[in-house]
C-alpha cells in the first residue's frame, strides 16, 4: 500500500516534467569587430587577452605577436594592413621540448622564464 502512495505522489511530478517547455536556444555568438565600417574603430581591437604585444612593419604590412605564457602552441602571429583588422596567420612556437615540468605537466610551481614565451 505504501508503494502505491509513493507512486501516486510521484505521478504529478512526472507528468509535469513531460509538459515542461523545451529550453530556449542559446543566443547566436557574435564575433567582435573593432572596425565600425565607417572609417572609425572601437577599442579593444581584440576581444581576448593579448599580452606583451610586439609589432613590426614590413612595407605596408603590419605583423603582431604576443606572449602566451606556457600555453602551446604559442606566440600567435597576426597580420594587418590598417592596424584595425587583424588576420591570424600562424603560431611561431608549436611546442616546447624542455621536459614535462616546463609544460606544467604534473608540476605545482610555475615554469621558469626560459621555459615559456613570456615577456621576450
Domain-embedded: residue 120: no
Kindly tell me the burial class for residue 86, based on how many C-beta atoms sit within 10 Å of its own C-beta (0-12, 13-18, 19 or more): buried
The string of pLDDT tens digits covering residues 65-101 is 988 876 778 889 999 999 999 999 999 988 777 777 6
Domain-embedded: residue 59: yes
Domain-embedded: residue 24: yes
Domain residues for the domain of 7 are 2-115
How many structural domains does the chain have? 1
The string of pLDDT tens digits covering residues 12-62 is 555 555 555 555 655 556 677 889 999 998 888 877 767 888 999 999 999
DSSP secondary structure string for all residues of 77-106: EEEESSSSS-EEEEEEES---S-GGGGTSS
What is the pLDDT at residue 50? 75
Domain-embedded: residue 111: yes
Position 114 pLDDT exceeds 90: no
What is the pLDDT at residue 79? 96
Amino acid at each position: 500500500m505504501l508503494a502505491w502512495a509513493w507512486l501516486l505522489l510521484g505521478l504529478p511530478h512526472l507528468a509535469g516534467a513531460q509538459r515542461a517547455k523545451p529550453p530556449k536556444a542559446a543566443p547566436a555568438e557574435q564575433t567582435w569587430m573593432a572596425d565600425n565600417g565607417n572609417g572609425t574603430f572601437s577599442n579593444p581591437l581584440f576581444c581576448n587577452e593579448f599580452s606583451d604585444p610586439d609589432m613590426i612593419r614590413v612595407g605596408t604590412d603590419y605583423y603582431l605577436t604576443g606572449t602566451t605564457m606556457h600555453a602551446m602552441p604559442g606566440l600567435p602571429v597576426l597580420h594587418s594592413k590598417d592596424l584595425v583588422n587583424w588576420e591570424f596567420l600562424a603560431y611561431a612556437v608549436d611546442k616546447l621540448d624542455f621536459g614535462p615540468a616546463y609544460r606544467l605537466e604534473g608540476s605545482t610551481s610555475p615554469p621558469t622564464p626560459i621555459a615559456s614565451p613570456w615577456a621576450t
